[in-house]
Chain A
Amino acid sequence: MFSLEGITKSIDRWLNSTFHPTLALLLEFLIVGLCAITLFAVLGLVLVLMERKVSAYMQIRRGPNRVGPGGSLQTVADTIKLTMKEGLTPDGADKFLFNLAPFVVLTVAMLVLAPIAFAKGFQLWDINIGVLYISAVSSVSIIGILMAGWASNNKYSLLGAMRSGAQIVSYELSAGLSIISMVVLTGSLQISDIIASQQNGWWIFKGHIPAIIAFVIFIIAVTAETNRAPFDLAEAESELTAGFHTEYSGMKFALFFLAEYVNIFIVCAIGATLFFGGWMPLHIGNWTGFNHIMDYIPSSIWFLGKTFFLIFLIMWFRWTFPRLRIDQLLNLEWKYLFPISMFNLLLITVMAIMGWHF
């Protein structure tokens, strides 16, 4: 059976047997780095294409279909074009910070990849504070956005950056609270433990209604945190032209764009891990036969399937809803999401202590 774990193991073994240990380690690093970069690029390409196709079908049109078979090369063309486009820096900008901002945003997105379990045994670093690490590191990207907005020396950028600052900051709370309420159930922050705790069923099923509430709040909050519509105030087209990246062009803009999509992937991966069991196949209690059949589907497929389902959900939101206004957005968080998620946390705690979940 196809398994990523086996492949990594065999590569590791081969490297260690052929080379000097230090060299082998370095080579391993190199391979990991290259893989991460490739993953990034591929994710960007696939997600952008997916977004365009999804939007097209919802809008009763066809979407890209002329570049490559079925339009599959559309995003490749876009990427090459963006790379080959002049990346300008406005004269009045704070040049250093202006050019630093895309680095920050992209590097942060890259760092968050570390603890994500892509498949059984395929994880870069099973850090013991897993989800906390992710919510910590991803909060750095807001600084990149503020930096970009301020350094551009453009009023639209500044407004967009400020909006996105307030927004990301606020929604971190309810995202954090819904993560915590799942942690109450799992009893661990470590990604592998979280997945292992869903051996006999995913939390969204095991956790009754509170888990579903937590999931809804989570998905709303991460939509807001990734600056996606209906919370895309930071780049609200019809208000602020392009928001904080108004002045960015070419590759620098592409990096923002890419980071946005990778961030979506990451938050959806976290959602899939917390609520849908990551790479864990669909197991129901002790129906061993059924569970066995499910095990035949490779774990990476499970993981990607769940993640892409969540991504699709977020895209669905985007192509359906109007955008909120900034005060409504903050209202939603402070009046509804935050108190509800606090209350929900207590509910889940009681449930966990009483052992009312399956």
Chain B
Amino acid sequence: MSASSVIFYVISGFILATALLAVTTKKIFRSAIWLLFSLIGVAGLYFWMQMEFIAAVQIIVYVGGIVVLIIFSIFLTQQSGNEMQKPSGIRTIFSILAVCIGFTLTYLLIRPYIFTPSSNTPMEVSVKNIGSQMLSTTEHGYVLPFEVVSILLLAAMIGCIVIAMKIKPEEK
């Protein structure tokens, strides 16, 4: 086993362990921190796959943005020191069962499938390539989604503001 595969397993283990902790920890703040580590682990996985750009995006958006937002909303809506109430026993059992069955099914689906790694000459995943393809107006260009994303973001922002500021005046 080479160093590279060791690193892969370490990263995967890290991702799964922290993700598991994130969904089972009782304190909500800790849960957010575990989620953060899990996301960082995913970024590490991207680094390992030499997708540096995606890794950086992952860190910027998830860690720098979403997790911070989640933490803020935790402060805003929770007694962050309290433990969250435990799910009922039956519910836990059924969830575990469902999840296990689902996992096995998927595993059985994946296992027989033989992926043939492509022999095409790989394209370098540099920011330059990403950029030029993103902005190109040809058939494989992504310029339309690129512009649509801005509308999506605009919609999201307006939505957020409308929703979040709705009750403000009455509160005061």
Contacts and interface: CB of A to CB of B under 8 A. Distances in A.
The answer to whether A and B touch in the complex, with CB atoms under 8 Å apart, is yes
A139 interface: yes
B68 A147 contact: no
Interface stretch (A9-17, A130-138, A258-266): A130-138
Given A97-B30, A128-B52, A140-B40, A146 B71 contact: yes
A169 B126 contact: no
Contacts of A128: 52, 126-127
B33 A137 contact: no
Contact of A140 (B27, B30, B55, B64): B64
Contacts of A169: 64-65, 68
B52 A133 contact: yes
Contacts of A94: 27, 29-30
A69 B56 CA distance: 45
Tell me the dominant secondary structure on chain B's binding face.
Answer: helix
Contacts of B53: 129, 132
B27 to A, nearest CB: 7
B59 A139 contact: yes
Interface residues of A, number: 26
B64 A132 contact: no
Contacts of B75: 158, 162
A235 interface: no
Contact of A143 (B36, B56, B57, B128): B36
Contacts of B80: 150
Interface residues on B, range: 20 to 34
B123 to A, nearest CB: 14
B65 to A, nearest CB: 8
A142 interface: yes
Contacts of B56: 129, 132-133, 136
A249 interface: no
A153 B27 CA distance: 14
B60 interface: yes
B59 A136 contact: yes
B72 A172 contact: no
B127 A139 contact: no
B67 interface: yes
A143 B126 contact: no
Given A140-B40, A143-B63, A165 B68 contact: yes
B29 A142 contact: no
Interface in A262-294: none
Given A97-B30, A128-B126, A147-B33, A140 B63 contact: yes
Interface string A237-263: 000000000000000000000000000
B64 A136 contact: yes
Given A97-B30, A132-B56, A136-B59, A142 B68 contact: yes
Contacts of B60: 132, 135-136, 139
Contacts of A106: none
A127 interface: yes
Interface string A157-173: 01000100100010010
17 contacts: A94-B27, A94-B29, A96-B30, A128-B127, A129-B127, A132-B60, A135-B60, A136-B57, A136-B60, A139-B64, A140-B63, A143-B33, A143-B63, A150-B71, A162-B75, A165-B68, A189-B127
Closest 7 CB pairs of A and B: A139-B64, A136-B56, A136-B59, A136-B60, A132-B56, A129-B52, A140-B63
Given A127-B52, A139-B59, A142-B64, 6 more contacts: A96-B30, A139-B63, A140-B40, A140-B59, A140-B64, A162-B75
Interface of A: 94, 96-97, 127-129, 132-133, 135-137, 139-140, 142-143, 146-147, 150, 153, 158, 162, 165, 169, 172, 188-189
